[in-house]
A and B are shown apart, each in its own frame.
Chain A
Amino acid sequence: MISTESDILNTAAAWRRDGRAVALATVIETWGSAPRPVGSHLVVEEDGNFLGSVSGGCVEGAVITEAADAIADGKPRVIEFGVADETAWRVGLSCGGRIRIFVERID
């Protein structure tokens, strides 16, 4: 079954209530043919388990790494992926779009 935004946010709350460290990633801006709409979520917990998607698989790995950093230092961050970005050629969006993602720890 495809997880809905509702499942994702409920899972984030449930993991947090379990005492796990949790970070939430949200697509805040897209340009061109981005695979997931603005507002899409990905939730990650301390062991790297995650639910949801922000790009349909293209950059999830990099987002999960950023989420681990946000869990560690508690600082929210904005990350960007796209064809104009050097890292995009490595993790990149094959569709040619660009996305900005806000990553925050659930405190």
Chain B
Amino acid sequence: MRADILEGLNAERAGRRAAILVTDIADGTQRLVREADIAGDALAEPLGRHLAAGRSGLIEAGGRTLFLTVQVPPVRLVVVGAVHITQALVPMAAALDLAVTVIDPRTAFASPERFPGVELVADWPEAAFGGAVPPLDRYCALAALTHDPKIDDPALKAALSAECFYIGALGSRKTHAARAVRLIEAGFSEAQMARIRAPIGLAIGAVSPAEIALSVLAQVVAALRRAPREAAS
């Protein structure tokens, strides 16, 4: 591999942009295809397919065997609400290699004593995104856990606009129905409402904060790992 290709791959990753390294395994020749250039590439179809699945793999093209190293940005999990569930969720998320940020404008909740060593932003979501917190993107999961529309709604709007791969919101079906009415009034579509997992978490009968945290993280992992395959089938 040429050092400049390696540096390019690392730069795309640092910039949170997907990229695919195409290697001819017979002679080692390589090229780097950035996410924005995939649609116009001669191999657009297989590159797009591998990118959507987030999977590296071998392909045959023009009589050559090519290995596609698919690099997608590290997943970030943004939790809105420095609540009891979040305290249980943060160490579990760390074990899953998810980079977690916790946002809550209520300083009594968002205190370093409650969240030691955690990236914690005591601000409103709309002020946090683009400020102390990098903007949301497709490689972010957002869990809205405050149960307060003043705090959750702006975060959900930002997540829908950024097309986060996972969007979940705490609250009963009734709470969510009222939330959907508000978001649709604000200009979001029915299809976008279907993207919000509410009530949040897989249905495992979770009771304690830690169990709810587990159900939320399991749902995040399912969205990350299963969604592309299900969409393709």
Contact = CB atoms under 8 A, between A and B. Distances in A.
Interface size class on chain B is 20 to 34
A107 B3 contact: yes
Interface in B1-44: 1-3, 6-7, 9-10, 13, 23, 25, 27-28
Interface in A1-38: 2, 4-6, 9-10, 12-13, 16-17, 24, 26, 28-29, 38
Closest 10 CB pairs of A and B: A39-B56, A76-B28, A28-B67, A38-B56, A16-B3, A13-B6, A106-B1, A104-B1, A13-B10, A104-B28
A66 to B, nearest CB: 14
B27 A76 contact: yes
Given A4-B74, A6-B74, A16 B58 contact: no
A69 B74 CA distance: 33
A78 interface: yes
A16 to B, nearest CB: 5
A106 B97 contact: no
B182 interface: no
A81 B36 CA distance: 36
Q: Is the interface of A mostly helix, strand, loop or mixed?
A: mixed
Of A17, A28, A104, most B-chain CB atoms within 10 Å? A28
Given A10-B10, A16-B3, A107-B2, A39 B70 contact: yes
B7 A13 contact: yes
